[in-house]
């Protein structure tokens, strides 16, 4: 597993067990905004951060929390560019 993907996975795993959900939003929303501002199509298809955002969104939904619009938009954009593996 690439180092960046492992780091993103570790953050999500830690969030699931110890971090408050507000912190998940505080970290994931700016990441989504950043990605929306600079990612080209190929970056959406190859970025491990897309999976981390999907996991953060799933974590929020599983806890009956609203997923912020930038995260949903980033996931939509990833799906539109052909990203495989998004639910």
Per-residue pLDDT of the chain (87 residues; tens, 9 = 90+): 677 778 777 777 766 655 688 888 899 999 999 999 999 988 898 888 998 999 999 989 888 889 999 999 999 999 988 876 554
Report yes or no on 86 lying in a domain: no
19-to-13, 15, 67, 72, 74 alpha-carbon distances in Å: 9, 4, 17, 21, 23
Domain tally, the chain: 1
DSSP secondary-structure letter at 63? T
Residue closest to 55 by CA, chosen among 46, 40, 5: 5
Range of the domain at 72: 3-80
In a domain, 61, yes or no: yes
For residues 47 and 55, what is the distance between their CA atoms, to the nearest angstrom? 14
Q: What pLDDT is stored for residue 71 in this prediction?
A: 97
Asked whether residue 12 is domain-assigned, the answer is yes
pLDDT score, position 83:
72
87 inside domain: no
- pLDDT attached to residue 3: 77
Answer yes or no: is 44 within a domain.
yes
């Amino acid at each position: 597993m690439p180092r960046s993907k492992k780091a993103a996975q570790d953050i999500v795993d830690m969030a699931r067990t110890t971090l408050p959900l507000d912190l998940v939003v505080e970290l994931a929303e700016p990441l989504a905004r950043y990605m929306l501002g600079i990612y080209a199509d190929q970056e959406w298809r190859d970025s491990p951060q897309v999976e981390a955002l999907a996991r953060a969104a799933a974590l929020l939904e599983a806890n009956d929390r609203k997923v912020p619009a930038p995260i949903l938009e980033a996931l939509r954009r990833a799906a539109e560019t052909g990203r495989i593996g998004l639910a």
